Structure 1
Amino acid sequence: MDFMRLLKSFEEFLYEIVSWIVFYPVTMWRTIRHPSKLMRYADVELLDDDEDRYSDTLSPPLFLLVTLLIAHGMELGLLRQSVVLPSLLSTDANLLVFRAVSFSIFPLLMALKLLRHAGTQLDRKTLQPPFYSQCYVAAPFALGIDTGINLMRIGAHVPKLAGMAVLTLALIWYVTIETRWFRRDLGISTGRAIFMVVVTILEAAVVVMLSAAIIIYAAAPRAG
């Protein structure tokens, strides 16, 4: 009986992993083509029963995690041999966890800012819908940022220019989508929405850089 239960669990796990091959590109395409629509979809799906949620896409946090895993794989193929990392980030697992937490800061701060300006009380239930919505659009943004940085680090002139272009496009796309989101949900002007988005992105970048600095400091050898 235990063996059959284990076999059934493995069967479900295998199907789930294989289904990502289909639903990951579907989710990425829908996010890039209709980001605002998919963000609303993320909110609505949370109202369904657990087994019925995100039946035709990957769930937002999983989508972000798989995207970061793909970006990590791309870096391994391009640069990993020439990159020196702190000891705490020297393993693939630790580096992937750090990236996942770092890029989750962006949807988290965006969601927190929306709740604060909307006057909504902060708790686990109110934070989840905007955070899930934000995870969808954070994934292409993270992939674009990671790809752009990796291209720039190759060293040749053409990859550097391509990397700068990818970085710029990813940032413009992200700012545009977030501006529309804040403007719609808060009923504010475009100018104020842009200001809120830019400030939030800078805040998230500062948090990520401070976290990286702490890790580097903690991993640095001590004299004596």
Structure 2
Amino acid sequence: MDFLKLIQSLDELLYEIMSWLVFYPVTLWRTLTRPLKMMDYSEAELGDAADRQYTDTLSPPLFLMLTLVIGHGIELSTVGESAMVTDRTGLSGLISDDSSLILLRVAFFSIFPLMMAARLVLARHVKLDRNTLKAPFYSQCYATAPFAMMVTGASILMRMTATEAMLAGFALLIFALLWFGSLQILWFAQHMRSGHWRAFGHASRAMVEALALFATVSLLFG
């Protein structure tokens, strides 16, 4: 009986993993072309029963994690192993393989949806708890995935020796920051029902806090 349950669990796991081949590109395309609508969609889906959530896309946290896994694979195939894996000084000594590096990057980039979600909850003058934070955090994971993809691409380009590649990487990084920042202004304006200048203030504050925390933690592992 236990063996049959194991087989059934493996069957469901295989189907789930293989379905990512279909729903990852779908989710990526929708997020790139209609990011705000996808963020609204994320919040709406959380109101459904657990077994009916995100049936035609990937869930936002999973989408973010898979994006970072794919980015890491591209990095390995183009510029090789990250120095963080080979370095043994400081906290980077804890990163001994690619799996731990991917988990660290997931934690790093999760800082952005966390800080944006927390800023929105506080700006609404709502009690900050697990329930009020979840919906905006999930929404922000959809926006953060393309941002993480662009930042990863910029990092790969800037690690190349060609001057043109490094300049292209720097340009891509600037574009990623502008794209992500502009999206946050629109998101805050929509959810706070305020003008764009007020939304700009909240988005900028959350962005600065996220970047500061991201940079601080990165230095510990640098």
What's the TM-score once normalised by structure 2's chain length? 0.92
- CA distance in structure 2 between the aligned counterparts of 1:150 and 1:201, rounded to whole angstroms: 23
Label 1:158 to 1:214 Cα distance change in 2 as closer, same or farther (>3 A). closer
- CA distance in structure 2 between the aligned counterparts of 1:144 and 1:95, rounded to whole angstroms: 18
Structure 2: runs of 5 or more not aligned: none
Could you tell me how far 1:199 is from its partner in structure 2?
2.6
- CA distance in structure 2 between the aligned counterparts of 1:80 and 1:87, rounded to whole angstroms: 18
1:2 aligns with 2:34: no
- CA distance in structure 2 between the aligned counterparts of 1:74 and 1:202, rounded to whole angstroms: 28
Match of 1:15 in 2: 15
- CA distance in structure 2 between the aligned counterparts of 1:175 and 1:114, rounded to whole angstroms: 14
Task: Please point out which of 182, 189, 201 is paired with 1:176.
Answer: 182
Which secondary structure state, in structure 1, belongs to the residue aligned with residue 67 of structure 2?
helix
- CA distance in structure 2 between the aligned counterparts of 1:82 and 1:174, rounded to whole angstroms: 25
**Structure 1 residues 25-63: Cα deviation after superposition (integer angstroms, max 9, x where no partner):** 100100011111111110010011111000000000000
Aligned residues: percent identity?
44
Which secondary structure state, in structure 1, belongs to the residue aligned with residue 159 of structure 2?
helix
Structure 1: runs of 5 or more not aligned: 217-224
Match of 1:69 in 2: 69
Could you tell me how far 1:141 is from its partner in structure 2?
0.3
Label 1:150 to 1:49 Cα distance change in 2 as closer, same or farther (>3 A). same
Letter in 1 for 2:140: Q
Which secondary structure state, in structure 1, belongs to the residue aligned with residue 29 of structure 2?
helix
Q: Is the contact between residue 75 and residue 81 of structure 2 (CA under 8 Å) also seen in structure 1?
A: no
Aligned residues: 216
Letter in 1 for 2:5: R
User: After the TM superposition, which segments of 4 or more aligned residues of structure 1 sit over 4 Å from their partners?
Assistant: none
- CA distance in structure 1 between the aligned counterparts of 2:20 and 2:26, rounded to whole angstroms: 9
- CA distance in structure 1 between the aligned counterparts of 2:168 and 2:201, rounded to whole angstroms: 28
1:60 aligns with 2:66: no
**Structure 1 residues 53-112: Cα deviation after superposition (integer angstroms, max 9, x where no partner):** 000000000000000111111111122347343221231121111100110000000000
Q: Which one is further off, 23-32 or 167-176? A: 167-176
- CA distance in structure 1 between the aligned counterparts of 2:128 and 2:171, rounded to whole angstroms: 38
- CA distance in structure 2 between the aligned counterparts of 1:15 and 1:161, rounded to whole angstroms: 42
Match of 2:131 in 1: 125
Match of 1:92 in 2: 98
Q: Is the contact between residue 46 and residue 53 of structure 2 (CA under 8 Å) also seen in structure 1?
A: yes
What are the within-5 Å matches in structure 2 for residues 140-159 of structure 1? Answer: 140-159=146-165
- CA distance in structure 2 between the aligned counterparts of 1:201 and 1:76, rounded to whole angstroms: 29
Could you tell me how far 1:150 is from its partner in structure 2?
1.2
Match of 1:139 in 2: 145
**Structure 1 residues 200-221: Cα deviation after superposition (integer angstroms, max 9, x where no partner):** 22211211222233345xxxxx
Match of 1:191 in 2: 197
- CA distance in structure 2 between the aligned counterparts of 1:206 and 1:197, rounded to whole angstroms: 14
- CA distance in structure 1 between the aligned counterparts of 2:82 and 2:120, rounded to whole angstroms: 41
Label 1:114 to 1:175 Cα distance change in 2 as closer, same or farther (>3 A). same
What's the TM-score once normalised by structure 1's chain length? 0.91
Q: Which one is further off, 87-96 or 64-73? A: 87-96
